[in-house]
């Protein structure tokens, strides 16, 4: 079709589109002369001015925070940051145990299996978003046995709805990849609590045989079109290359205490690990990191269910909790964010040691322009390439050495 509107030339009796070299000044509109598939994509999928003109593209710069580093004390998976009466608030998974995680096979009543085992939900406040003061005790404690969540409550997500505060969290009776994990909620009239446990599950795993049939993780509430949307990561109990490993879905409700109704389109995000959804213009955006074919992208959806990749990002925050007030306004005018908290596993792993909270700054805001965050070409020093997890491990080197005989062929001369 397109060639019909191209300027035509008659060459040796054949009509061909007129070719032109691509100009130095970037045309704002897609050129009407033949361009390569990559340049078609630049106009159709991206932006002729690349990432610098993409409001949903950003780099992330990190800052250490002043939370006290203590042995066997872990802080991870922060909620979004909210600001109430001039004070910033955040909640997160807090673990204070007698020893580091000992693994799922060796865990006991008092020795954690993973970093998020035997955890409660902690709260910290700040007047500037940089210096944080942690409460002396957890904001929400594990409920007593046999209530769901008595072993560990973790990975909270905050919702502000009609003047009240709701903390959604993972509720484990036993931690482990194939253990049942619904989402529960506690509510309060003030961000300083006191918090009351709602006595029922609010988001349940999906039915047997479907993609999220054993655990619902990382609940992430967003208000959209006057409704509450809870996004989450789901996984099936079945494991193996033929099964879904983890994807992200959404459930809807008009009442923060549920019952939430799962989208019939779930999963709505095919990639990612921890969730990070936020109001953007009249739709919902998602920062998708770590896993899946669309890892390390920012996506957007007009309806909260049908997402499109908007940018590809580098070194995204892990488990980000942005300060993004318009996410709870539900006015169809999401403005994005410029900072938030995330977690870092100092050992580079995910579950074996205590995690720390850190701050990230970025430019994913419609109200702010800091060109450094729109840059490409991030480069890293030698320690980055040669650190554990990135440098070639001895066992992989052994595998490579073993196949060398078969693969090492003479270059054709």
Q: Which residue ranges make up the site for ligand AAL (CB under 6 A)? A: 77, 116, 154-155, 170, 217-218, 233, 273-274, 319
Nearer Cβ to ligand AAL (155/326)? 155
- Asked if 243 and 211 count as a contact pair (C-beta separation under 8 A), the reply is no
Q: How far is the CB of 319 from ligand AAL (least distance, A)?
A: 5
Return the number of the residue (80 or 233) whose C-beta is nearest ligand AAL. 233
From the list 133, 121, 137, the residue with the least C-alpha distance to 89 is: 133
Least distance to ligand AAL, CB of residue 350, Å: 7
| Three-state secondary structure string covering 15-52 | EEECCCCCCCCCCCCCCCCCCCHHHHHHHHCCCCCHHH
Residue with the CB atom nearest ligand AAL in the bound state: 155
Q: By C-beta, is 233 or 335 nearer to ligand AAL?
A: 233
Q: Which is nearer to ligand AAL, 97 or 170 (CB)?
A: 170
We find the least distance from the C-beta atom of residue 18 to ligand AAL, in angstroms, to be 54
Q: Distance of CA 183 to CAs 157, 214, 319, 330, 398, Å?
A: 10, 11, 17, 23, 43
In the complex, the smallest distance separating the C-beta of residue 165 from ligand AAL, rounded to whole angstroms, is 21
When the beta carbons of 177 and 259 are compared against ligand AAL, the nearer one is 177
Alpha-carbon distances, residue 315 vs 99, 161, 248, 344 (angstroms): 30, 32, 20, 12
Shortest Å, Cβ 405 to ligand AAL: 41
| C-alpha–C-alpha distance, residues 61 and 365, integer Å | 15
**Do residues 143 and 186 touch, judged by C-beta distance below 8 A?**
no
Q: Which two tokens stand for residue 261?
A: 């109704």
Q: Is 328 helix (H, G, I), strand (E, B) or coil?
A: helix
* Beta carbon of residue 218, minimum distance to ligand AAL (angstroms, whole number): 5
- Please state the closest distance from residue 156 (CB atom) to ligand AAL, in A: 10
Q: Kindly state the smallest distance separating residue 93's Cβ from ligand AAL, in Å.
A: 7
Dist CA 173 CA 303 (whole Å): 35
Nearer to ligand AAL, 219 or 283 (CB): 219
CB-nearer residue toward ligand AAL: 152 or 301: 152
CA 117, 122, 128, 131: dihedral to nearest 10 degrees?
-70
Run of H or E including 221? strand 215-224
Question: CA-CA distance, 56 to 308, in Å (whole number)?
Answer: 12
Cβ 175 to ligand AAL shortest distance, Å: 8
**Spatial separation of the C-alpha atoms in residues 381 and 301, rounded to whole Å:** 36
Nearer to ligand AAL by Cβ, of 204 and 218: the residue is: 218
| In the complex, least distance from residue 118 CB atom to ligand AAL, rounded to whole angstroms | 13
Q: Which pair of structure tokens corresponds to residue 71?
A: 């042995």
Output 249 or 330, the one with its CB closest to ligand AAL.
249
Nearer to ligand AAL, 47 or 345 (CB): 345
CA dist., res. 269 & res. 276, Å (int): 11
Please state whether 193 falls in left (phi above 0), alpha (psi between -120 and 50) or beta. left
């Amino acid at each position: 079709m397109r060639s019909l509107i191209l300027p035509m030339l008659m060459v040796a009796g054949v009509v061909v589109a007129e070719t032109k070299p691509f100009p130095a000044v970037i045309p704002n509109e897609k050129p009407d002369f033949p361009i390569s598939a990559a340049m078609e994509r630049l106009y159709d999928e991206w932006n002729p001015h690349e990432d610098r003109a993409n409001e949903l593209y950003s780099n992330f710069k990190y800052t250490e925070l002043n939370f006290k580093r203590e042995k066997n004390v872990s802080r991870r998976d922060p909620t979004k940051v909210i600001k109430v009466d001039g004070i910033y608030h955040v909640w997160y998974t807090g673990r204070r145990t007698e020893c580091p995680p000992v693994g799922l096979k060796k865990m006991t009543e008092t020795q954690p299996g993973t970093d998020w085992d035997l955890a409660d939900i902690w709260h910290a406040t700040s007047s500037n978003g940089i210096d944080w003061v942690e409460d002396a005790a957890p904001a929400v404690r594990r409920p007593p046995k046999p209530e769901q969540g008595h072993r560990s409550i973790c990975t909270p997500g905050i919702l502000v709805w009609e003047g009240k505060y709701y903390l959604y969290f993972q509720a484990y009776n036993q931690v482990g990849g194939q253990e049942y994990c619904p989402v529960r909620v506690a509510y309060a009239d003030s961000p300083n609590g006191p918090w009351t446990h709602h006595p029922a599950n609010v988001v349940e795993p999906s039915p047997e045989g479907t993609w999220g049939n054993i655990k619902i993780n990382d609940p992430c509430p967003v208000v959209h079109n006057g409704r509450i949307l809870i996004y989450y990561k789901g996984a099936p109990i079945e494991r193996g290359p033929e099964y879904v490993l983890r994807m992200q879905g959404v459930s809807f409700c008009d009442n923060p205490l549920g019952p939430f109704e799962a989208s019939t389109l779930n999963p709505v995000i095919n990639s990612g690990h921890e969730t990070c959804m936020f109001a953007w213009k009249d739709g919902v955006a998602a920062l998708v990191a770590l896993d899946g074919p669309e890892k390390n992208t920012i996506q957007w959806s007009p309806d909260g269910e049908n997402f499109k990749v908007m940018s590809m990002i580098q070194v995204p925050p892990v488990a980000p909790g942005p300060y993004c007030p318009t996410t709870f306004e539900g006015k169809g005018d999401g403005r994005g964010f410029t900072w938030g908290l995330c977690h870092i596993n100092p050992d580079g792993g995910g579950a074996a040691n205590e995690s720390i909270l850190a701050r990230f700054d970025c430019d994913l805001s419609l109200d702010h322009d800091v060109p450094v965050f729109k840059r490409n070409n991030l480069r890293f020093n030698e320690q980055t390439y040669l650190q554990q997890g990135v440098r070639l491990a001895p066992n992989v080197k052994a595998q490579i050495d073993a196949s060398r005989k078969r693969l090492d062929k003479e270059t054709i001369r």
